[in-house]
Amino acid sequence: MTQTASASKTYSYSVADVETVARRFTADLLMMAQSSGAITEETARNYAHDVEALAKKGFLKQVDLTLLSGSVEVRATRYTVNTESGALTMSRPGGVMWPRVANAHLRIVLIYTANYTADEKEAMRGKLKIGWVPSAARSVYLN
CB atoms under 10 Å from CB of 127, counted, come to 11
Q: What is the CATH number of the domain that holds 77?
A: 3.30.900.10
Residue 33 included in any domain: yes
Please give the residue range of the domain that contains residue 81.
Answer: 15-117
Letter string b/e over residues 67-104, b meaning 16 or more CB atoms within 10 A of that residue's CB = bbbeeeebbbbbbbbeeeebbbebeeeeebebeebeeb
Determine, yes or no, domain membership for 136: no
**Counted domains in the chain:** 1
The answer to the question of residue 128 being in a domain is no
Q: What is the pTM (predicted TM-score) of this model?
A: 0.79
Is residue 64, in this structure, part of any structural domain at all?
Answer: yes
How confident is the model at residue 61, as a pLDDT? Answer: 86
Residue 135 lies in a domain: no
* Regions of the chain where pLDDT drops below 70: 1-18, 82-94, 138-143
pLDDT of residue 6: 39
- Crossing angle for the helix pair 41-56 and 15-36, nearest 10 degrees? 160
Q: Is residue 84 part of a domain?
A: yes
Phi, psi of 77, rounded to the nearest 5 degrees: -150, 160
| Strand 72-82 relative to strand 87-90, pairing | antiparallel
Give the pLDDT score at 141: 47
Position 78 in a domain: yes
